[in-house]
Amino acid sequence: MTTTSQLTVFFDQAFYRGVFERTINGHYQAAKVTFGTQPPTYNQIQSMIAGRWSTLTWASGDQTTALTSSAQSAQQRKRQARQAIRGRGSSPQAKQVLKLAHKQNLVLKKKRRKETKQAHALKVRLKKQEKRLAKHRGH
């Protein structure tokens, strides 16, 4: 079982965000975390990993097609490190996986909201019906 993990911290609009990327046996997963308005320190990142790692919501993607770091040449690894230092944010694969998970969550949220709305409408309709029947009960 091979596991590789990577954390990318970047400034996005008003907040510092972190994207955790991990590959477990060829299965790619990503999770996003918001650190706050101040840049996170090493200790804050360590405590966050120790405390919240198990509660992170991991978005799964397809099996990875990227090369592992051992199969890449030294020049490719150097180029990737340079791009990461430039602060281009999270990797395109992580963005794609997180966006897909966000869309799925929106669909689920919309479905739940619709069910709740229908249940409430049914409850109101039954209450009105009971009230109407109680009015015409007689003396």
Could you read off the pLDDT of 71-107 as tens digits, one per residue? 678 888 788 777 766 766 667 778 888 888 889 899 9
Residue of 60, 46, 40, 138 lying closest to 100 (CA atoms): 60
DSSP string, 14-56: TEEEEEEEEEETTEEEEEEEEEESSPPPHHHHHHHHHHHGGG-
| Mean local confidence (pLDDT), 38-59 | 89
For 135, other C-beta atoms within 10 Å of its C-beta total 8
Structural Rg of the chain based on CA atoms: 24
User: What three-state secondary structure class fits 59?
Assistant: strand
pTM for this model (two decimals): 0.58
pLDDT (0 to 100) of residue 106: 93
DSSP 8-state symbol, 69: G
Q: Is 18 left (phi over 0), alpha (psi -120 to 50) or beta?
A: beta
